[in-house]
Chain A
Amino acid sequence: MNKTVLQDPDPGADRAAQAEWMRAIAEAQDEDAFARLFAFFAPRLKSYLMREGAADEAAEEIAQEVMTTVWRKARSYKPEAGAVSTWIFRIARNRRIDQLRRGNRPELDPDDPFFHPPAEMAPDRALEGGQRDAIIRRALGELPQDQQETMRLAFYEGLSQSEIAETRQIPLGTVKSRFRLAFDKLRAALDEAGL
Chain B
Amino acid sequence: MNRDQMTADYAAGVLHPALRLMVEAQDAIDGERARDSEIAAAAGGAWLESEDPAPMKDNALDTALSSIRETPMDPAARAARQAGQRLAELAAVPEPILDHAIEAASGRGWKSPMKGVRRLELMRDGDLTAELIHVKSGVSVPAHGHSGREYTLCLQGEFLQDGKVYGRGDMVIADGETVHAPRADGEEDVLVYAVTEAPLKYRGVAGLLQKILGFR
Residues of A within 8 A of B (CB): 6-10, 13, 26, 29, 31, 34-35, 38-39, 41-48, 50-51, 56, 59-60, 63-64, 67-68, 71-76, 82-90, 92-94, 96-98, 100-101, 110, 113-114, 116, 118-122, 125, 129, 132-133, 136-137, 140, 151-152, 154-156, 158-161, 183, 186-187, 190
Contact = CB atoms under 8 A, between A and B. Distances in A.
A140 B129 CA distance: 38
Contacts of B61: 35, 38-39
B12 A160 contact: yes
A96 to B, nearest CB: 5
B74 A38 contact: no
Contacts of A183: 36, 39
Chain B at the A interface: SS class: helix
B50 A6 contact: yes
Contacts of B95: 119-120
B138 interface: no
9 contacts: A13-B49, A31-B68, A35-B61, A44-B54, A48-B51, A60-B60, A88-B48, A113-B99, A186-B43
A63 B55 CA distance: 12
Contact of A86 (B9, B14, B45, B125): B45
Contact of A119 (B14, B24, B40, B57): B24
Contacts of B16: 97, 101
Interface string B30-61: 01001110111111111111111111110011
Contacts of B24: 118-119
Given A10-B50, A64-B63, A114-B17, 19 more contacts: A29-B73, A38-B64, A47-B51, A48-B48, A68-B71, A74-B73, A76-B76, A82-B42, A82-B45, A84-B45, A85-B46, A89-B41, A89-B48, A90-B44, A114-B123, A116-B99, A122-B31, A137-B43, A155-B44
A147 B100 CA distance: 38
Contacts of A132: 38, 42
Chain B interface size, as a band, is: 35 or more
A110 B71 contact: yes
Contact of B42 (A31, A51, A110, A137): A137
A119 B41 CA distance: 13
Given A43-B54, A89-B44, A161-B8, A96 B64 contact: no
B41 A86 contact: yes
Interface in B152-198: none
B56 A60 contact: yes
Given A39-B61, A68-B68, A119-B94, A87 B45 contact: yes
Contacts of B31: 122, 125
Contacts of B13: 93-94, 96-97, 158
A43 B55 contact: yes
Contacts of A72: 68, 71-74
Contacts of B71: 68, 71-72, 110
A46 B63 CA distance: 15
Given A121-B34, A156-B43, A64 B51 contact: no
B41 A158 contact: no
B75 A75 contact: yes
A85 B43 contact: no
B15 interface: yes
A-B residue pairs, 10 tightest by C-beta: A86-B45, A43-B53, A119-B95, A85-B45, A47-B54, A44-B51, A89-B44, A75-B76, A136-B42, A46-B54
Nearest to B68: A71
Contacts of B56: 42-43, 46, 60, 63
